[in-house]
Chain A
């Protein structure tokens, strides 16, 4: 069995296989812990019912949709309040609702977003909660 032009072909093949299997040899054997968003903020602590603005399952998959709706409603239609399915009324605001309860941005939003390599551009303009700005990781 003879391989013609073995050098360039085998080198090319090696590069390709190396590239495709890169995740394996970069991580092989290591464990990468999933994020653990913390809920222990003062605002959430004093809640009687520990509930978000929608069900937990919905928030996990679709919180950005709520934010997008709130933004459109507030900025275009001046609707600045949001009534949840449970009847609670919240300001439809990133800073005055989400970040009031989830004031631990670095231990909450950022843990998930860093895990999947996401850096929402919202904080270019909106102010992250005060306590975090000192050690904001971005």
Chain B
């Protein structure tokens, strides 16, 4: 159900762009207004999300069980990356996490065999597909800077040359395009084929996959099949970045579909699970050194507790206590005088 709904939304969005441009002639809306609005939503929403997270205190360390801190027990070695106790170790753990998806690498598959035997398997395909997906996305994203920079920086040209390494056909086959589509398709099939994963998949999970696939497919159609006028498109994109927006004539509707879906992706980003891009940097189980026994961590929620000490209590009830014959630490004033006499 969720899958069909998500697919319907993506197709509906593509159709909206086609109708908007082809029938209603809203080139300016789809080419200028919506992209600006989407980028604004993206930046403000992203900053809001990060600041919102940064306002929640994480007072205590969350040590993972994978290793102890420091050498408090000399016969157990500290695990420098799993349970780092220094800043440098944390930087290492974060770098491995962000650049190589180390937690995902440790993914295992649990299975109940006949006779009730539980087995754990290595399961590296998810890690591999996720890595391929993210890196090809990054390369495509960076290559797109050729539409937003004039002159195009050498590094972007270098990236494109590396990406067309095999020099197959003209315009050259870009490896990252195909890696992205294959990896995203794997990630989608995995959700459908594995019953447990299918059970936990929501429309939102399918939606981002379909949206990214649709963006990639429209992009590839523009390059390999229904080619578009790149020079006019760059005129449009440069118009956007120089704040002199123009919509040249003769740009294919396919480009507006691509751009509209990208705008939706950007605008939706801060509200979706995709903010894990920023969130990964703020993961408390990953970014805090495990130094609970070396440094005092104070909970900022601790507020001064209202207490009523015994002294204050006796002060309040001393007369009644004496009357009732209860022992008191400080005798009543009058009685003291009586004794003195």
Contacts and interface: CB of A to CB of B under 8 A. Distances in A.
Contacts of A29: 242-243
Contacts of B171: 64
A123 interface: no
B224 to A, nearest CB: 10
B242 A17 contact: no
Contacts of B281: 12
A31 B282 contact: no
B235 A34 contact: yes
Interface string B26-67: 000000000000000011001100110011111000000000
A61 B150 contact: no
A1 B55 CA distance: 7
Given A4-B57, A12-B281, A32 B238 contact: yes
A18 to B, nearest CB: 11
Contacts of B230: 61, 116
Place the interface of chain A in its size category. 35 or more
B228 interface: yes
Contact of B231 (A4, A30, A112): A112
A23 B54 contact: no
B250 A23 contact: no
Given A13-B50, A112-B231, A26 B170 contact: no
B235 A68 contact: no
Contact of A23 (B47, B148, B232, B300): B148
A68 B156 contact: no
A6 B54 contact: yes
Nearest to B143: A117
A119 interface: yes
B111 interface: no
A28 interface: yes
Interface of A is mostly: helix
Given A9-B50, A121-B167, A4 B55 contact: yes
A115 B150 contact: yes
A90 to B, nearest CB: 18
B151 interface: yes
B323 to A, nearest CB: 51
Contacts of A31: 242, 244
Contacts of B231: 34-35, 60, 112, 115-116
Contacts of A121: 167
B47 A28 contact: no
A26 B157 CA distance: 18
B55 A3 contact: yes
A76 interface: no
A64 B148 CA distance: 23
Contacts of B232: 34
B146 A117 contact: yes
Contacts of A4: 54-58, 300
A17 to B, nearest CB: 6
A131 interface: no
A27 interface: yes
B241 interface: yes
Given A61-B228, A117-B146, A13 B47 contact: yes
B140 to A, nearest CB: 15
Nearest to A4: B57
A30 B152 CA distance: 15
Interface of A: 1-6, 9, 12-13, 16-17, 20-21, 23-24, 26-32, 34-35, 57, 60-62, 64-65, 67-68, 112, 114-119, 121
Interface of B: 42-43, 46-47, 50-51, 54-58, 145-153, 156-157, 160, 167, 169-171, 227-232, 234-235, 238, 241-244, 248, 250, 278, 281-282, 300
Given A61-B230, A117-B152, 19 more contacts: A4-B55, A4-B56, A4-B300, A5-B54, A9-B54, A16-B278, A23-B241, A26-B149, A27-B149, A27-B150, A27-B241, A28-B243, A30-B242, A31-B244, A64-B170, A65-B227, A67-B170, A68-B169, A121-B167
